[in-house]
Chains A and B, each alone.
Chain A
Amino acid sequence: MTERKSPTAVLHEGPRALTDEQVIQIEESDLQAVLDVDIDDVIEYVHKDLKSLPDFITLYRKYLKQRWDVYELDFTQDKIDWTEKMSADERESFIAISSGFHHGERQVEIELPVFMIGASEEEKLHIAAQIEDEARHTVFFDRFYREVVGMPGDDIMAVLDASFPWVSETFVGPFGLLAYQADELRRNPYDERARVRYGTTYFLWIEGVLALSVMKVTLSYARWRGFLPAYYTGFTATCRDESRHVQGGMKYLQDAVRKDPTMINEIHDTLRTILSLAGVASRRIYFEPLGWTEDEVTMLFFQQLRRKLNDVGINLAPDIEQMLQFVQPQLAGG
């Protein structure tokens, strides 16, 4: 990889159409070729099908073609970049952001199975695939922290414990909510209103807004600087996986609202809770070493949320519009 456009350039480009060649490159690249895929194109690709969402069997078939082997990644060059080329400030900013993903991927892996119980048979296939994706993403971060950052541990939880000091106190907002909503579904898996509330937290907020925004920060940095090729490859492949998850999640929410328009109230109530927490930060994260400012990351959040809502036709209540003005970046995703 060589130095390319600045990390934040896409903020000023706005939505754009991908060429057929770009779509084919994103959809059909094997793991090695993912290194050459532009993360901005993958994030644009997430939105490509939101206006006419694919069905769950189509998403499942895409999964079968796109799944990748996390053990094929070679982190040797990443280790050299981390220890010899990146500055202490860059490493500190990077780990402050990536630790939210280290824990976020684990959370979205373990909280998803209960959602499958009340799903249609077709959606069950898609969710089963998504659980496997999330498990693979958990292993990806486990390997990155062990082999590149150098955090030892006897098992996956030990490495999670080692990176936890970098996780912000506000992580418990969306991810604690998801854990408790999963428990609500465990007790009553066919409660459709509880499922919509859960889906709003998981698919719209955590995956559609938090994950895609923050993924872009570290990936744009890696691409811009030409560092961390295995991280870039694995996490860009992760982003491609997330495109299926976001599309499946938006399809679920869209179908639920079309079937019962009062379900929009569940989406709104969940967003009210999430946004009442999203205006508070417990730590100051310095994005500048990675080529970003806090304002630019906030702008990215807004872009991601607006595009999801607009594309799937979900309108916000006026009080929620008001709350959006106070949102701050949440450094986590899954």
Chain B
Amino acid sequence: MSEAKFFSQEWADAVRDALIAGPSEDAKAGKLQEYWDFFELIKSMYPASWALGCRDLPPEIGKGPAYLRVQWAGGTVADCEIIGPDDPLDATYVLGMDYADWKALHDGYDAQRTVMYRKILLEEGSLLEFFKTIYFFVESLAVIGAVPAHYPELAVR
């Protein structure tokens, strides 16, 4: 079976399954149980949605900016879909990231510094509310980045 293409609906479906399953045992190793208990507590009651944008999708994938919209409800992912640049966008938090940083995340760059170094940025939504659950977001971002997908190579700039 060939890998889903980054920012395709097949990829979004795989992201949904990965988020529902949660971080791998490898990811959990080395971190305290209380940290993961907090993660699960947030996940069980998280009511918000994220629109995770790619500002500059390579042309072979589609037109940018496009968004991966993740709706959380009832402790699971209620909806996970790709929103194109011409589609209406409705999410609690809208964030944006360049394709190169999406690819770096997929290639193993850590999610914590992806946030801390402002590779992904909050474009819409309450900053203080968003950060109350930042550990949940960062660990989820790591899960999303690890989902197998075909990421086209970047053209040399």
User: What is A's interface to B at a CB cutoff of 8 Å?
Assistant: 107, 164, 167, 169-173, 175-177, 179-184, 197, 269-270, 272-273, 276-277, 280-284
Contacts and interface: CB of A to CB of B under 8 A. Distances in A.
B134 interface: yes
Contact of B135 (A169, A175, A269): A169
> Which 3 residue pairs of A and B lie closest in terms of their CB atoms, listed nearest first?
A282-B35, A273-B128, A280-B38
Nearest to B111: A172
A72 B145 CA distance: 44
B156 interface: no
Interface string B116-153: 11100110000111111011001000000000000000
A181 B118 CA distance: 11
A179 B34 contact: no
Given A169-B112, A176-B115, A283-B32, 18 more contacts: A167-B112, A169-B135, A170-B35, A172-B116, A173-B131, A176-B138, A179-B115, A179-B116, A179-B117, A180-B122, A180-B131, A181-B127, A182-B118, A197-B128, A272-B128, A277-B134, A281-B34, A283-B30
B113 interface: yes
B157 interface: no
Interface residues of B, number: 24
Contacts of A179: 115-118
A173 B135 contact: yes
A107 B34 CA distance: 27
B32 A284 contact: yes
Contacts of B30: 283
Contacts of B116: 107, 171-172, 175-176, 179
Contacts of A176: 112, 115-116, 131, 134, 138
A222 B135 CA distance: 33
B107 to A, nearest CB: 15
Contacts of A180: 115, 118, 121-122, 127, 130-131
Contacts of A282: 31-32, 35, 135
B31 A283 contact: yes
A172 B138 contact: yes
A184 B113 contact: no
B68 to A, nearest CB: 20
A272 B129 CA distance: 10
Contact of A280 (B34, B113, B115, B138): B34
Nearest to B132: A276
A168 to B, nearest CB: 9
A317 B19 CA distance: 36
B21 to A, nearest CB: 20
7 contacts: A169-B112, A173-B135, A177-B134, A179-B118, A180-B121, A273-B129, A283-B30
Given A177-B134, A180-B127, A277-B135, A171 B32 contact: no
Contacts of B117: 179
Interface core residue of A180, A197, A276, A283 (most chain B CB under 10 Å): A180
A183 B118 CA distance: 8
A210 to B, nearest CB: 15
Contact of A273 (B32, B122, B131): B131
Nearest to B41: A280
A166 to B, nearest CB: 12
Contact of B127 (A172, A184, A277, A284): A184
A281 B35 contact: yes
Contacts of A181: 127
